[in-house]
Amino acid sequence: MIVLRNLLAVATAVVVSVPAIWMLSTALKGPDEIFAQPLSLIPRPPRWENFGEVWTVVPLARYLVNSFFIASAITGLEVTFGILAAYAFVRLPLPGGRALFALFVATLFLPGQVIVIPNFVLMRLIGWVDSYPGLIVPPACTAFTTYYLGQQFRIFPREIELAARVDGCDPLRALGLVVLPALRPALVAIVVLAFVAQWNAFFWPLVMTSSESLRTITLGLRYLADSVGPRYHLVMAGSTLATLPPLFIFLLAQRHVRINVLGVGLR
């Protein structure tokens, strides 16, 4: 059984890795080699200068900095709001708290496109269109983070919190000094998931931005494809560079995170 599971894991890893390997291979090829027959996975010779050329075609550094700043800000706000809201729903005696929490979680079933127009109208009314606040604030409030952390708080022993309260901690100090350190793997997991989701976000930045100085890396790659036309090796070089920051963050966080077999939780 263990051998079969390992073989399945290796096969899944190979299938998932094929697009990334082909992207890197194309990024190292010349324009005439990409569609040459027969197709070859190994560039001969590798053209590392493609990665330098892509920086000169579009302001890729600006796009990367924008994406990192926006994704980091959204992740910080999302996790902060999620911690406070989840703790309030689970631990504090709120009137109608169960019904309110159920209504809150029900927003997960709404397609993201449904709330784009109301959010855009609100951002236009307060003058945040084509600005960093407009890109950051609306995506920072999500029900998934609150729901996920709420489940973590539910399984955390209440007796430990009560002991901290007896020792003089108020609810916020008990949350910060006792509960959150014990739930660090869950927090790391939700930070990684939130950051990667915002790094890959495309539709909301497309709606909210019109100036090049605010473009994220996902929009930048779209404009890169329009700029270079059929020079797909440059598009793949830019895409390869765009995968490095979230990959680096995941590698830093993976020792804190273990995904269980059912994918229900990370701990």
Contact 257, 266 (CB under 8 A): yes
Give the number of other Cβ atoms within 10 Å of residue 136's Cβ. 21
Closest listed residue to residue 35, CA positions, set 238, 233, 223: 233
Beta strands in 169-260 (DSSP E): none
pLDDT for residue 265 is more than 70: no
Would you place residue 257 in the very low, low, confident or very high pLDDT band (cuts 50, 70, 90)? low
245-254 confidence digits (pLDDT tens)? 999 998 888 7
- DSSP 8-state secondary structure symbol assigned to residue 253: H
The model's pLDDT over 90-110, given as tens digits with 9 standing for 90+, comes to: 888 878 878 888 888 888 888
In this prediction, residue 184 has a pLDDT band, given cuts at 50, 70 and 90, of confident
Q: Decide: 58 and 224 in contact? Cβ < 8 Å.
A: yes
Q: Which fold has domain 58-88+111-150+184-256?
A: MetI-like fold (1.10.3720)
d(CA 209, CA 223): 13
% of the chain surpassing 70 pLDDT? 96
Residues spanned by CATH 1.10.3720.10 within the chain? 58-88+111-150+184-256
Question: By percentage, how much of the chain surpasses pLDDT 90?
Answer: 37
What's the longest Cα–Cα distance across the chain? 74
The 10s digit of each residue's pLDDT in 24-61 is 998 998 888 888 778 788 888 888 998 999 998 889 99
Q: Which residues contact 70 (CB under 8 A, 6 or more apart)?
A: 132, 135, 136, 198, 205, 216
